[in-house]
Amino acid sequence: MCGRYSLSKSKIELEERFQADMVVDFTPRYNIAPTQLVPVITSDSPRGFSFFYWGITPDFGHNKPVSQKLINARAESVNEKISFRNSFQKRRCLVPADGFFEWKR
């Protein structure tokens, strides 16, 4: 699990790598935090980048405070937990990243 990640590629590099258009300008970022707007490729629109806020909003909580707390899911239990199950089964996306890290306290 990670609390931050980086995406150091340029808009052009991302478009070439994923064969998808990005209509908005994108600047490489090295410290992407939960709740920030990030580029993703969804199964609904595989030929273009969409921008979503990093966080998981479960079916039972349609507000930002809930999604701020749910930022990661464990691979071994993602299909079992009610918070993640429906999203895991029906709403998948590709999140380009080239590094991830966790801050030390």
Q: Which range scores top for mean pLDDT: 2-6, 16-20, 98-102?
A: 16-20
CATH code of 54's domain: 3.90.1680.10
What pLDDT score was predicted for residue 98? 94
Lowest mean pLDDT across 13-22, 55-64, 74-83? 55-64
What pLDDT score was predicted for residue 7? 97
- Residue 20 in any domain: the answer is yes
Q: Which residues are identified as catalytic?
A: 2, 102
Higher-pLDDT residue of 59, 56: 56
- Residue 105 in any domain: the answer is no
- Residue 104 in any domain: the answer is no
What pLDDT score was predicted for residue 29? 95
What pTM value is reported for the model? 0.80
- Residue 48 in any domain: the answer is yes
Report the C-alpha gap between 34 and 23 in whole angstroms.
Answer: 23
* Domain residue limits at 85: 4-99
Give CA 98 to chain center in angstroms: 13
As a dihedral over the C-alpha atoms of residue 46, residue 63, residue 90, residue 34, rounded to 10 degrees, the angle is 60
Please state the domain count of the chain: 1
